[in-house]
Amino acid sequence: PLNAIIWGGKQEKGLWSGTQNIPVIIGFAKALELTVKNQNEEKKRLTELRNKLIDEVLSSIPNAKLNGPKKNRLANNINISLPNIDAKEFLFHLDEAGIACSSGSACDMSKNKISNTLKAIGLSLEQANASLRFTLGQSNTKNDINKVIKTITKIYHG
């Protein structure tokens, strides 16, 4: 049986208090409709941006490594290890340049523990601690990717 999480009214057989937020429900439905309608085009666009970032970073930084396969991955996901860096320090410089990035999942940010995902694909603790994870989205453009590539290369090569 379900228990109420918001108390006060008798709507929805006592499980919900208050009137449903119809504008938010309609907005969510429209967002879902647009996402489904444009998903193939968006997947193609994000894959092209992702591959550009991967290819150019790997070609400009010796021994940089793409973590995971290039072909069978989410269109918006990039995880790269850069040799001889501390990802957390590198993130600080990226943040100063206005680039949002992470060194792993938010739920597993321990410096002394390798993420289960990176461990499963064979990375060492050193490689995992030198990994940067980028997630692309609808608002990202080719100009954004060019800025990220230029910034990573500049920070890495000093």
Q: What is the 3-state secondary structure (H, E, C) of 95-121?
A: HHCCCCCECCCCCCCCCCCCCHHHHHC
Is residue 37 a contact partner of residue 52, using CB atoms and an 8 Å limit? no
Candidate list 7, 107, 139, 157, residue with the active-site label: 107
User: Is 107 among the residues known to form the active site?
Assistant: yes
- The counts of H helices and E strands in the chain are 5, 3
Residues 24, 133: Cα–Cα separation, whole Å: 31
Catalytic residues: 107
